[in-house]
Amino acid sequence: MVTTQLLQVSTIEEVRKYIQRVRKEGKRIGFVPTMGYLHEGHISLVQAARAACDVVVMSIFVNPLQFGPNEDFERYPRDLERDRELAANAGVDLLFTPDVKEMYPRKVVTTVSVAEVSEPLCGKSRPGHFDGVATVVMKLFQIVQPDAAFFGQKDAQQLAVISRMVEDLSVPVEIVPCPIVREADGLALSSRNVYLTPEERKQAVVLFRSLKLAEALLATGTPLREIREQMTAMIKAEPLAEIDYVEVMKYPELVSAEHAEKGERICFALAVRFGRTRLIDNWITTV
């Protein structure tokens, strides 16, 4: 257990004051943006940030801009008490927990939109989602002004969108990708996993199983199109699974991998619904 003194603040002004002070001390600032309901995936980002930086700032903010009108903004799991304790134990120095009024006191008319990489996959099923993500991350970067920010590869498209935004707009933040943390049976950790019924939870492991199938088939030289078909069939065999997408894309460009050349990075990406719960997972590799 790490014993740093966690400071929790909920206003932008308090964050700025803190950052000004640690900057003066010449500290390197690492930042972990989250929506809370913390799990080991989030904690692994904190650990990476601690290893690379002097000060770790975490934000917990369920960002209404990135939820569609019929999505789970209202019922998204929240437990600030528990999160504060987990963050303190993981070694977070500053926990920023603004409310919606603090982040968006007025109607937001200035947004960040990253074309192309935002459009396929989750961008197609969740219109406007990545504009909401890019806008809040840009805003958080302006508030925290970190040297480095840590993102999970679990959200591979989000990582691609943020990396592209930072490159295109010359944002002075190093984006650090961190590996996917999984349950013992392979299910990727997600705050949304608590929505799953016991039967859905059992069947949800098919996301990981289909990625392992992709790995095995790729090793034997199976064409990508056929791998995708076999993954789809495997997922469809689970009675509670309803496929949103099963795709193979070049990464991080997120264009069709149909003509991927040897040595290129590709991403097998999945979104599958179980009842009201939508789960995503992916595997990035080189062909």
**What burial class does residue 67 get, using C-beta atoms within 10 Å of its C-beta: 0-12 exposed, 13-18 middle, 19+ buried?**
middle
How many residues touch ligand AMP under the rule CB under 6 A: the total is 17
Residue 32 or 88: the one with the smaller Cβ distance to ligand AMP is: 32
Among 53, 87, 165, 181, contact with ligand AMP (rule: CB under 6 A): 181
Segment (H or E) for 283? strand 277-286
Residue 229 CB, shortest distance to ligand AMP, in Å, is 27
* Contact of 178 with 159, CB cutoff 8 Å: no
Q: Is 180 in the site for ligand AMP (CB under 6 A)?
A: yes
Residue 153: strand, helix, or coil = helix
Closest approach, Cβ 233 to ligand AMP, in A, equals 26
User: Under the criterion CB under 6 A, does residue 139 sit at the interface with ligand AMP?
Assistant: no
Per CB under 6 A, the segment of 40-48, 49-57, 167-175, 245-253 that binds ligand AMP is 40-48
Span interacting with ligand AMP, options 5-13, 139-147, 183-191, 252-260, rule CB under 6 A = 183-191
Q: Is 152 in the site for ligand AMP (CB under 6 A)?
A: yes
Min dist CB 182 to ligand AMP, Å, is 7
Contact flag: residue 114 with ligand AMP (CB under 6 A): no
Closest separation between CB of residue 76 and ligand AMP, Å?
9
Residues 39, 42, 129, 259: which is the catalytic one? 42
Task: Give me the sign of the Cα torsion angle 178, 123, 210, 239.
Answer: positive
Contact set for ligand AMP, span 185-244 (CB under 6 A): 188-191
Sign, Cα dihedral of 6, 11, 14, 20 = positive
Residue 72 φ then ψ, to 5° = -100, 30
Residue 28 is encoded by which pair of tokens? 């390197």
Note whether 251 binds ligand AMP by CB under 6 A: no
Q: Toward ligand AMP, which CB reaches closer, 35 or 80?
A: 35
Q: How far apart are CA 274 and CA 142, in angstroms?
A: 37
Helix (H, G, I), strand (E, B) or coil at 3: coil
HSE on the CB side for 269, CA within 13 Å? 26
**Euclidean distance between CA atoms 76 and 1, whole angstroms:** 28
Q: Provide the minimum distance between the beta carbon of 152 and ligand AMP in the complex, in angstroms, as a whole number.
A: 2
Q: How far apart are CA 31 and CA 35, in angstroms?
A: 13
Among 129, 154, 164, 201, binds ligand AMP (CB under 6 A): 154
Determine which residue in the list 151, 208, 268, 274 makes contact with ligand AMP, applying CB under 6 A. Answer: 151
DSSP string, 5-18: --EEE-SHHHHHHH
Determine the 3-state secondary structure of 285 from DSSP.
Answer: strand
* Residue recorded with tokens 């064409």: 223
- Residue 163 beta carbon to ligand AMP: minimum distance, rounded to whole angstroms: 12
42 is catalytic: yes
Q: Would you please indicate which residues are annotated as catalytic (active-site) residues?
A: 42
Q: Which residues bind ligand AMP (CB under 6 A)?
A: 34-35, 41-42, 44-45, 151-152, 154-155, 178, 180-181, 188-191
